Amino acid sequence: MIITEQDRQYMREAIRLANESVERGGGPFGAVIVKAGEVLAGSSNSVTLDNDPTAHAEVNTIRQACRKLGTFDLSGATIYTSCEPCPMCLGAIYWAHIGRIFYGNTRKDARDIDFADDFIYEELDRSIDNRTVPLIPLLRDEALHTFRMWMAKADKTEY
Would you call 72 helix, strand, or coil by DSSP?
Answer: coil
> Which residues, 6 or more positions from 87, have their beta carbon under 8 angstroms from its beta carbon?
117, 120, 121, 124
Q: Which of 58, 122, 123, 142 is catalytic?
A: 58
Asked whether the beta carbons of 106 and 116 are under 8 A apart, the reply is: no
Q: What's the length of the chain? A: 159
Task: Give percent helix, percent strand, percent coil of the chain, each to the nearest 5.
Answer: 50, 15, 35
23 is annotated as an active-site residue: no
Name the residues annotated as catalytic. Answer: 58
